[in-house]
Chain A
Amino acid sequence: MRLLEHLPALIVAVPLVAAPICALLLRTRFPYWFAIAVAWATFAMALLLMEQVLSQGVVVYALGGWAPPWGIVYVVDPLSAMMLVLVSGMAAIIMPGTLLGIGSEVVRRAKRFFFAVTLLVLTGMLGIVMTGDAFNLYVFLEIASLASYALVAMGSDRRSLPAALNYLIQGTIGATFILIGVGLIYMVTGTLNMADMAGRIQTLEGSRPLQAALAFILVGAAIKFALFPAHIWLPNAYTHAPSMVSAFFGATATKLGAYILIRFIYTVFGDEFAFGHMGIAWVLIPAGVAGAILGSLVAIWQNDLKRMLAYSSIAQVGYIALGIGLDNRDGLIAAIVHIFNHGLMKGALFLVMASVILRLGGANMTQFRGLGRRMPLTMACFVVAGLSLIGVPLTVGFISKWYLVLGAIEAGLWPIAILVVASSLLAVIYMWRVIEVAYFETATDNRPIKEAPLQLLLPTAALALLCVLLGISTEFTVEIASRAVVFLDVGL
């Protein structure tokens, strides 16, 4: 099959070409159906690529037939493949609900372009995880970021504009830092191809520009990653963006920061330079633990549940950073598995918010009163995803936590292990507040409230179900994460 060989190019090209077409389709219904088709097509391609990676190992594709050091090359290793499945899968699952979900949450004038911009975000995200070229990564990062700012700004809530501006400023600083880092590496290695860079960096230990490059990239990625204390843009952006956008971002956006960090640390700089020479564990572990604890603590006091979930995301990002910072096999598995698992649960939780906002006009604690009776299925999904966020056994959250605590203990960091579980106990508190209100209190008004429409309910239920299924059978997630770890660094 000729077409299958070109999958790595097609998976990025299809949404890229589809986006302007989508903008040209005039009525909102057409772009909606078109975007759904494109999202599912990319998801199918991602699954095919995953299958190829699992059966044949790494897939390398030279764009336009130009051989690696000169041309741009796409490299799909297990980590990339998993990110592809996560990003395109979330897009595919969330997309059918968007038309209803964005309802009153998107400014009327912007609705026409909503789907086109979403496809651009998708293009950028897929490109970031595909490419084996450092500058190309920056280009895709900017595509994804600029489109993301636009999506946040489309919110009909007036506060979404300052949130988007904030996001834009901080996101641009982050992206620029990454660009500076890439530039510095280019300066000393003379190449933009990641594999090439990696080979030459090994001979350059102690080079000052290289050290600066790592620092710039670490900070840049940390901003994209919303790693404490570079998380300031996230709460407002997630809270005031349309809920469907929050669902997509909550599941994917910060994960790309994590991906960039892992990719540069392990593939470009190498474990030895990053951890041995530069000691980035001293940044990642304290920042990760502080983020996990503080994010959860702040989440407890939130009245707006979208904001609560946003702070919870900051906490979860902390776990991922900690997993990377532990610099051992189980820690890295925990980080990679949690990238995927957290996507599932946060996606489900934000979709619940979308349903509640659609039916009740807001997602504050007051709207959740008595919701267990009014929207029983939606709340059931919330409970399942919430239990997973806490890390109850037989959910995906437990698997992540297991490997994270195991990694911490293997690194000899018992206090860190205890802090990790302490922060998940904080998650019990902030999730249980909501569950209590939903099941023990009665609604303040008597309006009849219907269950969420199927386009929203089915995706929510699917994600909640995955939270349990992938927590019982981890052959997919942990297996791929283990392979990714093997591929990233044989030295661990």
Chain B
Amino acid sequence: MSALSSNGVLMLLAVAIPLFGAIAIVLLRRWPNAREAATLITGVALFVDVLMIACAMQGGATLNLVLARPIVGLPLELTVEPLGMLFALVASGLWIVTSVYSIGYMRAHREKSQTRFYAFFAVAIAATMGIAFAGNLLTLFVFYEALTLSTFPLVTHYGTSAAKRAGRIYLGILVGTSIGLFLIAIIGTYAVAGTLEFRSGGILDGKVTGGIAGLLLVLYVFGIGKAAVMPFHRWLPAAMVAPTPVSALLHAVAVVKAGVFSILKIVTYIFGFDLVRGLDATVALQIVAAFTVIAASLIAITQDNLKARLAYSTVSQLSYIVLAALIADRAGFLGGGMHIATHAFGKITLFFCAGAILVTAHKSRVSELDGLGRTMPWTMTAFLIGSLSIIGMPPLAGLWSKYYLIEGAWFGGSAWLVAIFAISTLLNIFYLLPIPFRAFFRSARADDSLVRREAPLACLLAIGITTLGCLMLFLFPDSILELLGGAITGGALP
């Protein structure tokens, strides 16, 4: 192994810092305050490290690190490219906010086994960083599986029979698709292309017939179960039994975005836009993803449980990004990449609010929320802003991603997708806005107390930060667009 350069160390730290954090958390298990401090310090250290990687990347440095060589010619390798950089920034930044929120939530809820919770949370973040910085498809797969396994104890945190059942669905679908389809696709790609590198323009172009390429694309899209394309979406609503911080960061940001990120990355760097656009399978998959967008929205409308409704909303929004990837052009890529960031901020805000409502007012159903706007005005205002951002209203971040998605669909020659996006926006309004409306405009039920009681301060602080994020991303989307633009012009990729 070559000597580590300082840039290599930065890459290593992105995975190592959260792992060391997990160890520190376990060691400090007897002192909750010190343990939570360890979580926060780890979060800040990781974010600083990721920022330094971003600066180094902008400076044109080559960042590359080989961790191990498990298979001849296929190293476990970390490297940086723009899309992964964006994903890492979003995930590590929001981890700090989620940690602040978790402290408020877990203490207010008097949760058991908090040490295990924080430790596995840190391991999951390490796996997420590995996915974001994966230098080839094998590395991505390794960390993808690590993310599934490390989040399993978080999903089954309560240990009840409901949690156990949810854990089975979670593991069954995610491991089943990844080993049964994703791995086959990876090995198939390796067999025909002889490499698994991420390369501008793809590695498959010119090496395969349309049939095989189409088959591989189908295997990838369904095999990456974390993207929750129907019919492999059931794990996401099931995962909602987890404590809310897990649903917020992992099942609205890290895990699900890891899925769509992988699809976006595979379409861009393994297939290449030209190859994907020419495949028959692409249209078929677009139809499946479009169906997922609409069907999941319709299901969301019928859900009374708040977290379940948000989960189905996530299923629907994830397929936006899958569609963006399958449009396979510049605008689609920008829209997909943007949506990873903007949806992350919007959805995490909504989950934070849902958790705040649960710990403060002990309510988990939409139908119970009447009049809550008066007792929890800050939380419900944040909920409204988050909803509007996801719907795509100005002046909020969601507008930009929707703008590029629709542009991509229009100029990509699939005008019917524009209609899908339009209908889905309407459905967004139907399932999201009734929630704040109920809270603000309906009067509370007789047996509800009217005493104004807000969420714990740590929770409110976190909600404030992510809500502000929705606004800031609207005002300053340039840096993200520039970052993503670098990926397609090809200059940034080694």
* Residues of A bordering B, CB below 8 Å: 387, 390-394, 398-399, 401-402, 405-406, 409-410, 414, 417-418, 421-422, 424-425, 428, 432, 436, 440, 471-475, 478, 482
A-contacting 9-mer, from B77-85, B173-181, B258-266, B484-492: B173-181
Give Cα distance in the complex from A394 to B183, angstroms.
14
Closest beta carbon of chain A to B397's beta carbon, Å: 35
Q: B72 is contacted by which of A422, A424, A478 (Cβ under 8 Å)?
A: A478
One of A410, A418, A440, A475 near B180 (C-beta < 8 A):
A418
Give the docked Cα–Cα distance between A398 and B187 (Å).
12
Looking at B171, B172, B187, the one whose CB has the most chain A CB atoms below 10 A away is B187
Chain B residues, CB < 8 A from A421: 179-180, 183-184
Name the A residues within 8 Å of B141 (CB-CB).
393
Residues of A within 8 A of B288 (CB): none
* Known contacts A421-B180, A473-B69, A482-B72; 13 further A-B pairs (Cβ under 8 A): A392-B145, A392-B149, A393-B142, A393-B145, A394-B146, A418-B184, A421-B184, A428-B171, A428-B172, A436-B164, A472-B70, A474-B70, A475-B69
A428 and B170 alpha carbons, distance in the complex (Å): 13
Contact check, A422 vs B71: say whether CB atoms are below 8 A apart. Answer: no
Contact of B176 among A409, A428, A471 (CB under 8 A): A428
Task: Say whether B164 contacts A409, CB under 8 Å.
Answer: no
Which of A409, A428, A436, A473 contacts B68, CB < 8 Å? Answer: A473
Query: With A and B bound together, what is the CA distance between A401 and B456 in angstroms?
Result: 49
Q: Write out the residue numbers on chain A whose beta carbons fall within 8 Å of the beta carbon of B68.
A: 472-473
The answer to the question of B156 belonging to the interface, with a C-beta cut-off of 8 Å to chain A, is yes
Q: Which residues of A contact B179 (CB under 8 A)?
A: 390-391, 421, 424-425, 428
Q: For the complex, what is the distance from the CA of A401 to the CA of B184, rounded to whole Å?
A: 10
Contact B156 A440 (CB under 8 A): yes
Given the known inter-chain contacts A394-B70, A472-B68, A472-B70, please indicate yes or no for A428 contacting B175, CB distance below 8 A.
yes
Q: Is B451 an interface residue (CB 8 A)?
A: no
- Tell me, rounded to whole Å, the shortest Cβ–Cβ distance linking A431 to chain B: 11
**Chain A residues closer than 8 Å to B187, beta-carbon distance:** 402, 405-406, 409, 417
**B410 is an interface residue with CB less than 8 A from chain A:** no
Q: Which interface residue of B69, B70, B149, B156 has the most chain A CB atoms within 10 A?
A: B70
Among A393, A406, A414, A425, chain B packs the most CB atoms within 10 A around the CB of: A393
Q: Which 7 pairs show the lowest CB-CB distances between chains A and B?
A: A393-B142, A409-B191, A405-B187, A472-B68, A393-B145, A421-B180, A406-B187
Determine the chain A residues whose CB is within 8 A of the CB of B70 once the complex forms: 394, 398-399, 471-474
Give Cα A418–Cα B159 distance, bound, in whole angstroms. Answer: 33
Q: Which residues of A contact B403 (CB under 8 A)?
A: none
**Complex: chain B residue closest to A398, CB-CB:** B70
In whole angstroms, how far apart are the Cα atoms of A425 and B176 in the complex?
Answer: 6
Quote the shortest CB–CB distance from A333 to chain B (angstroms). Answer: 10
For A482, the chain B residues whose CB sits under 8 A away are 72
Contact B183 A432 (CB under 8 A): no
Q: How far is the CA of A478 from the CA of B175 in the complex (A)?
A: 26
Which residue numbers of B lie inside 8 Å of A, CB to CB?
A: 68-72, 76, 138, 141-142, 145-146, 149, 156, 159, 164, 167-168, 171-172, 175-176, 179-180, 183-184, 187-188, 190-191
- Measured CA separation A424–B183 after assembly (Å): 12
A278 → chain B closest CB, angstroms:
27
Closest Cβ–Cβ distance, residue B474 to chain A (whole Å) = 39
A414 to B192, CA, bound (A): 13
Kindly identify which residue among A387, A399, A405, A478 contacts B183, using a CB–CB cutoff of 8 Å.
Answer: A405
In whole angstroms, what is the CA distance A169 to B190 when docked? 46
- List chain B residues, Cβ under 8 A from A405: 183-184, 187
| In the bound complex, CA of A394 to CA of B67 (Å) | 12
- Do residues B188 and A425 form an inter-chain contact, with CB atoms below 8 A? no
Query: How far apart are the CA atoms of A372 and B146 in the complex, in Å?
Result: 20
Taking CB as reference atom, which chain B residue is nearest A470?
B70
How far apart sit A187 and B275, CA to CA, in the bound complex (Å)? 61
How close is B184's CB to chain A, nearest CB, in angstroms? 6
Evaluate contact between A402 and B71: CB separation under 8 angstroms.
yes
Q: How far is the CA of A440 from the CA of B161 in the complex (A)?
A: 9
Residues of chain B within 8 A of A401, CB atoms compared: 183
Kindly provide the distance from the CB of A440 to the nearest chain B CB, expressed in whole angstroms.
5
Please name the residue on chain A nearest to B141 by beta carbon: A393
CB distance from B427 to the nearest CB of A (A): 35
Q: Name the residue on B nearest A396 (C-beta).
A: B70
- Find out whether the CB atom of B176 lies under 8 angstroms from the CB atom of A440: no
Write 11 A-B pairs (CB below 8 A) sorted by A numbering: A391-B179, A393-B142, A405-B187, A409-B191, A424-B179, A425-B179, A428-B172, A428-B179, A474-B69, A478-B71, A482-B72
In the complex the two chains form, what is the Cα distance from A440 to B71 in whole Å? 36
The interface residues of chain A lying within 8 Å CB-to-CB of B145 are 392-393
Q: Which residues of A have CB within 8 Å of B168?
A: 432, 436
Residues of B within 8 A of A410 (CB): 191
| Contact with A440, one of B159, B184, B188, B191 (Cβ below 8 angstroms) | B159
Q: Cβ of B146: which chain A residues have Cβ within 8 Å of it?
A: 393-394
Give chain B residues whose Cβ lies under 8 Å from the Cβ of A440: 156, 159, 164
- Inside 8 A of A398's CB, which chain B residues have their CB? 70
A418 and B187 CA atoms in complex are apart in Å by: 11
